[in-house]
A and B are shown apart, each in its own frame.
Chain A
Amino acid sequence: MADRAIGFQYATAAQQREASTLGMWAFLATEVLFFGALIAAYFNYRIYHPQELIAAARHTKLVLGAVNTAVLLTSSACMAMAVNATEAKARRTAALWLVATALLGLLFVGIKGFEYVEEFREELVPALNFDLARYGNVGELFFTWYFAATGLHAVHLLIGITLVLTAATLLAADRLPANLSVRMIALYWHFVDVVWIFLFPLIYLAGRST
């Protein structure tokens, strides 16, 4: 387990855990600002061009977006189960929950990719085949933002999947080093989930009632 060995600079395992938790949150605070800037940009667009932006957002695929949200939220629950199993020193159970988390993450990326293909077919991809005459300038603005936001989110998720699978492999072989704890990876994974929780209503729910 991660608590088995501690780094030489720490007196106790509890101290190591507190220090790494604090370090992870310091990193996540920078991530809040990173994605926060994108969300602030969205509000700018929405306040300047309310009608056109809503009209553009209606071209996103609501069903796929909602299913993907459910997939990601479930993956977070699996991740929490992995941490729970790690606490109980159930190594194999923890590894299995990690694999489930990673598979759900991959499913999310797969559905997202399918969505991108659909959008390409509808000529909604700026710089590749955006139909300016049909969707307008604000439409292009929205979809540029959409691909930047969801693309960056997907990159974060792919990093998360790599971390989770690495931890699962090492955990199954009982070779998880002291400086790589399931709990820290879980913090990162849940954070990527929080980002999506805010992106979902802004992208998929805008203008559905009009």
Chain B
Amino acid sequence: MSKTTIWRCWSALMLLLAVTTGSAFLPLGSFNLVVSLAIALAKALIVLLFFMELRGSAGLVRAFAAAGFFWLLIMIVLTGADYWHRTDAPAPIDQIR
């Protein structure tokens, strides 16, 4: 990766950090979380694609990299399908007040 690309990525990351920190103070309600996570995703993609060189990697390496995140998504969705939609039997966490 060229030096120019590295410092361009760095500038983009710094800009996104400033934007996400600033956006946290805008009164957007629960949309604040959506904005900050979207920006986090953009920053992570810059690091993954450029710094971690997934952009030019072999298909098998990309598949390995994607597998971890894809599996995590499955686990979070399954957890959420239970915990976030319970109406009758409360989860232990719901008993904390």
- CB of A73 within 8 A of CB of B1, answer no
Give residues 25-53 of B contacting A (CB, 8 Å).
25-28, 30, 32-33, 36-37, 39-40, 43-44, 47-48, 50-52
Contact residues on B (Cβ < 8 Å of other chain), bracket? 35 or more
Please give, as numbers and ranges, the residues of chain A lying within 8 Å of B25 by CB-CB distance: 208-209
Given contacts A21-B61, A62-B21, A77-B7, contact A201 B75 (CB under 8 A): no
Of B50, B65, B79, most buried by chain A (CB within 10 Å of CB) is B65
- CB of B68 within 8 A of CB of A80, answer no
Given contacts A205-B20, A208-B24, contact A190 B93 (CB under 8 A): no
Given contacts A30-B68, A73-B14, A190-B47, contact A205 B3 (CB under 8 A): no
A129 within 8 A of B: no
Given contacts A43-B80, A197-B43, A197-B47, contact A84 B67 (CB under 8 A): no
A50 to B29 alpha-carbon distance, docked (Å): 11
Give residues 47-72 of B contacting A (CB, 8 Å).
47-48, 50-52, 57-58, 60-61, 64-65, 67-69, 71-72
**B85 to chain A: closest CB distance in Å?**
10
Contact string against B for A residues 180-210, beta-carbon threshold 8 Å, 1 for contact and 0 otherwise: 0000001100110110011011001110111
- CB of A47 within 8 A of CB of B64, answer no
- CB of B76 within 8 A of CB of A198, answer no
Closest Cβ neighbor of B54 among chain A residues: A25
B88 within 8 A of A: no
8 CB-based A-B contacts, threshold 8 Å: A46-B33, A69-B17, A77-B10, A77-B51, A138-B96, A194-B48, A197-B40, A198-B44
Given contacts A66-B21, A190-B47, contact A29 B65 (CB under 8 A): yes
- CB of B24 within 8 A of CB of A205, answer yes
Given contacts A25-B64, A77-B7, A80-B6, contact A210 B52 (CB under 8 A): no
**B29 to chain A: closest CB distance in Å?**
8
Closest Cβ neighbor of B76 among chain A residues: A40
Please give, as numbers and ranges, the residues of chain B lying within 8 Å of A39 by CB-CB distance: 76
A150 to B49 alpha-carbon distance, docked (Å): 25
**B24 to chain A: closest CB distance in Å?**
4
A159 within 8 A of B: no
A152 within 8 A of B: no
- Main secondary structure on chain A at its contact with chain B? helix
Contact string against B for A residues 18-29, beta-carbon threshold 8 Å, 1 for contact and 0 otherwise: 100110011011
- CB of B27 within 8 A of CB of A209, answer yes
- CB of B1 within 8 A of CB of A84, answer yes
Please give, as numbers and ranges, the residues of chain A lying within 8 Å of B2 by CB-CB distance: 84
